[in-house]
Amino acid sequence: MRFERAAVTVNEAFDRFAGQHLPAGAPAALVHQLRALASLHSLPRRQMSRFDVTRDHLVFVASGPTKLVALDAAGSEQIVAFQFGGDCLILPREGLHAYRLVAIRAASLLVFDAEALRPLEQRAPVLNEMIARCTLAALQRTRANLVAMGRRSATERVASFLLSMREIEQVAQADGRTLTLEMTRKEIADCLGLTVETVSRQFSKLRDLGLIATPSRTQVRLSDPVRLAAQAGAFAPAA
Amino acid sequence: MRFERAAVTVNEAFDRFAGQHLPAGAPAALVHQLRALASLHSLPRRQMSRFDVTRDHLVFVASGPTKLVALDAAGSEQIVAFQFGGDCLILPREGLHAYRLVAIRAASLLVFDAEALRPLEQRAPVLNEMIARCTLAALQRTRANLVAMGRRSATERVASFLLSMREIEQVAQADGRTLTLEMTRKEIADCLGLTVETVSRQFSKLRDLGLIATPSRTQVRLSDPVRLAAQAGAFAPAA
DNA sequence: CGCGTTGTTGAAAGTGATCAATGTCGGTGG
DNA sequence: CCACCGACATTGATCACTTTCAACAACGCG
């Protein structure tokens, strides 16, 4: 079993952040100031972030897969995007919608108050560039996701969900095909905008077609990724 | 009838762009260089942008309502976002999806090659900030749209479409309730991920409920915006 | 072992898509 | 001015798919 060391200290997380998102030539003073503004939050599995909802935040996902969800009036979640160790995102303050970050598995987050970064940005364009890059990446993924949500059948959604999970969770077995979904059917259903029953039926259908195998409740083996991709439809893996 | 003067020259469009998106204190040299990189494109009603699909572009919508669409394999459009006079957006090169800008009514676009802007960005952080601001705004709207698309019924989609159109097209009559949709039912259907027939039925239904009136093929009178908003559901107007 | 949670399966109902026919508007040419 | 044409819109009937409601099975845990 693979064992990924979680980032446990602010400094570890920050170093990871700097290595990933700050150019090598970034001025030491900037790095120093940034470090002072960072705070580390550990988010246990399935737990929702609880930051100050009146402020925007820049969040670096130091470790662990997470999802950005929108909460509707009924409190049910609608997935907006997935993030993984190394990704950076803007978590907007509560406006028309309330957004939260939810840990799919235990995650560590490095959090910056967006407002506090502003003075730094003025002096250090690198920071601005970094944020712009992250925002643009998020925009691209969100647009792709939007298209995906538009007109897709349950089968297409489930198939492409499995494929995108495979990319993410290379936490796979040696064969690179078996993945462990750390999510209940309900969570998957919320992600895909379907019901639990439909998700379950799609799993059964794909199993009957011989495209996947489900040795246990949480494990899925992609027996035939190629034909699975065919089921995922035109706009295949929502990257 | 209101008569909005379209931006016809590059300079007119550029001035509008600078006024809207560049801070007053922007260095004259920067403005000058930017102007040299801008090119103007007039997009007739319903026409699709035809820029170099291998390059990213920064587009300023100088005038006219436009929509950003994703094209699927079948060539049918899936709406991603609306833009209006004054908005700025990143039109990404063709990747997993192909995006196009489509004029809802005749529009003028000021187009920059994103690559060509890069050297300018390095020297002028203002430019970077501007792009970051636009990207972030686009991200927020797209996220909102994604949530909207998630699990919404045909009625909700049509009702909130009408409401958001009202916000946009204040090209309304004196009463502020009658709007002229410069779109066919097919275009509306594509926007909402529905079929023409379903859209038509929803119009009929809302008309029967007394929420709207349809004096002509293109005109819609929102007789009862409040109850219409109720039909639009929890995540009302997709801003 | 029993119980609660989670997952699967079946039957019925609801919703939108598809297919097909008809209706309406706007323009063109007689 | 009117008849006709073609594009667009509406309406109806049917079909496919997803949800909903309900029962049951499997697993994990005390």
B219 touches strand D (CB under 7 A): no
Domain closes at, from A149, A180, A207: A149
Is residue B65 domain-resident? Answer: yes
**Shortest Cα distance, chain A CAs vs residue B2, angstroms:** 31
pLDDT digits (tens, 9 = 90+) for A11-27: 999 999 999 899 888 88
Q: Is the pLDDT of residue A6 over 70?
A: no
pLDDT digits (tens, 9 = 90+) for A216-230: 998 999 999 999 999
Q: Is B233 on the interface with A (CB under 8 A)?
A: no
pLDDT at A170: 57
Q: Nearest nt (C1') to A154 (CA)?
A: D18
Same domain, A220 and A108: no
Round to whole Å and give the CA distance between B15 and B18: 5
Same domain, A25 and A119: yes
Chain-chain contact of B143 with A239 (C-beta, under 8 angstroms): no
Same domain, B35 and B88: yes
Q: Is the pLDDT of residue B225 over 80?
A: yes
Q: Is A137 on the interface with B (CB under 8 A)?
A: no
Q: Is the pLDDT of residue B122 over 90?
A: no
Round to whole Å and give the CA distance between A166 and A228: 12
Is residue B194 domain-resident? Answer: yes
Is residue A67 domain-resident? Answer: yes
Mean pLDDT of A50-59: 94
Domain closes at, from B149, B178, B196: B149
* Closest C-alpha to B90, from B62, B122, B113: B113
Counting DSSP H helices and E strands in chain A, the numbers are 8, 10
Chain-chain contact of B147 with A73 (C-beta, under 8 angstroms): no
Mean pLDDT of B98-109: 88
Chain-chain contact of B135 with A139 (C-beta, under 8 angstroms): yes
Q: What are phi and psi of A136, to 5 degrees?
A: -65, -45
pLDDT at B239: 38
B196 touches strand D (CB under 7 A): yes
Instruction: Tell me the three state secondary structure of residue B139.
Output: helix
Round to whole Å and give the CA distance between B6 and B42: 10
Round to whole Å and give the CA distance between B239 and B236: 8
pLDDT digits (tens, 9 = 90+) for B185-196: 998 998 888 999
pLDDT at A45: 83
Same domain, B197 and B139: no
Q: What are phi and psi of B226, to 5 degrees?
A: -70, -50
Structure tokens at B2: 């209101």
A204 touches strand C (CB under 7 A): yes
Mean pLDDT of A112-129: 88
Same domain, A109 and A40: yes
Q: Is A155 on the interface with B (CB under 8 A)?
A: no
Q: Judge whether A136 and A69 are in contact, CB under 8 Å.
A: no
Mean pLDDT of B162-173: 70
Same domain, A110 and A67: yes
Is residue A86 domain-resident? Answer: yes
Q: Which of A45-49, B20-24, B71-75 has the lowest mean pLDDT?
A: B71-75
Mean pLDDT of A148-172: 80
Q: Is the pLDDT of residue A162 over 50?
A: yes
Structure tokens at B55: 């390059």
Structure tokens at B230: 């109720």
In A, minimum Cα distance to B157 occurs at: A150
Round to whole Å and give the CA distance between A184 and A45: 12
The residue count of chain A comes to 239
pLDDT at A66: 87
Candidates B67, B72, B77, B96: best to mutate against A (most CBs of A within 10 A) is B96
Q: Nearest nt (C1') to B183 (CA)?
A: D8
Domain count, chain B: 2
How many Cβ contacts (< 8 angstroms) between chains A and B?
Answer: 103
Q: Which of A50-54, A223-227, B18-22, B71-75 has the lowest mean pLDDT?
A: B71-75
Mean pLDDT of B84-96: 87
Q: Is A73 on the interface with B (CB under 8 A)?
A: yes
Is residue B237 domain-resident? Answer: no
Q: Is B128 on the interface with A (CB under 8 A)?
A: yes
pLDDT digits (tens, 9 = 90+) for A163-180: 888 876 655 455 667 888
Q: Which residues of B touch A135 (CB under 8 A)?
A: 132, 135-136, 139
Chain C positions with a protein C-beta closer than 7 Å: 6-11, 15-20, 25-26
* Mean pLDDT, all residues of chain A: 85
In A, minimum Cα distance to B124 occurs at: A125
pLDDT digits (tens, 9 = 90+) for A66-106: 888 888 766 667 778 888 788 899 999 988 788 999 888 88
Round to whole Å and give the CA distance between A133 and A89: 10
Is residue A97 domain-resident? Answer: yes
Same domain, B131 and B162: no
pLDDT at A177: 79
Q: How confident is the model at residue A32 (pLDDT cuts 50, 70, 90)?
A: very high
pLDDT at B75: 65
Same domain, B43 and B84: yes
DSSP H or E stretch at residue A203: helix A196-208
| CATH code for position A133 | 2.60.120.10
Residues 9-68, chain B, touching A (beta carbon < 8 A)? none
Chain-chain contact of A135 with B132 (C-beta, under 8 angstroms): yes
Q: Which domain holds residue B59?
A: 10-149
pLDDT at B108: 92
Is residue B4 domain-resident? Answer: no
Paired residues of A192 in beta bridges? none
Domain closes at, from A110, A134, A149: A149
Phi-psi region for residue A175, left (φ > 0), alpha (ψ -120 to 50) or beta? alpha
**Shortest Cα distance, chain B CAs vs residue A146, angstroms:** 5
Distance B147 CA to D12 C1' (A): 33
Q: Is the pLDDT of residue A1 over 50?
A: no
Residue type at position B94: E
| CATH code for position B223 | 1.10.10.10
* Closest C-alpha to A99, from A150, A50, A135, A60: A50
pLDDT at B59: 96
Q: Which residue has the tokens 């609608």?
A: A78
Q: Is the pLDDT of residue B173 over 70?
A: no
Is residue A80 domain-resident? Answer: yes
Round to whole Å and give the CA distance between B12 and B20: 12
Round to whole Å and give the CA distance between B154 and B198: 7
In A, minimum Cα distance to B132 occurs at: A132
Query: How large is the angle between the packed helices B125-150 and B28-37, nearest 10 degrees?
Result: 60
Q: Is the pLDDT of residue B150 over 90?
A: no
Q: Judge whether B113 and B121 are in contact, CB under 8 Å.
A: no
Same domain, B86 and B116: yes
Higher pLDDT, B111 or B105: B111
pLDDT at A12: 92
Same domain, A92 and A142: yes
State CA A193 to chain mean position distance: 17
Mean pLDDT of B118-146: 86
Q: Judge whether A228 and A163 are in contact, CB under 8 Å.
A: yes
Q: How confident is the model at residue B69 (pLDDT cuts 50, 70, 90)?
A: confident
Cβ-based neighbour number of residue A50 at 10 Å: 10
Same domain, A184 and A206: yes
* Maximal C-alpha separation, chain A: 60
The share of chain B scoring above pLDDT 70, in percent, equals 89
pLDDT at A151: 74
Candidates A141, A143, A152, A190: best to mutate against B (most CBs of B within 10 A) is A143
Round to whole Å and give the CA distance between A89 and A56: 11
Structure tokens at A53: 């909802």
In A, minimum Cα distance to B138 occurs at: A139
Structure tokens at B44: 């007739």
Chain-chain contact of A96 with B128 (C-beta, under 8 angstroms): no
Same domain, B111 and B190: no
In B, minimum Cα distance to A129 occurs at: B128
DSSP H or E stretch at residue A34: helix A28-37
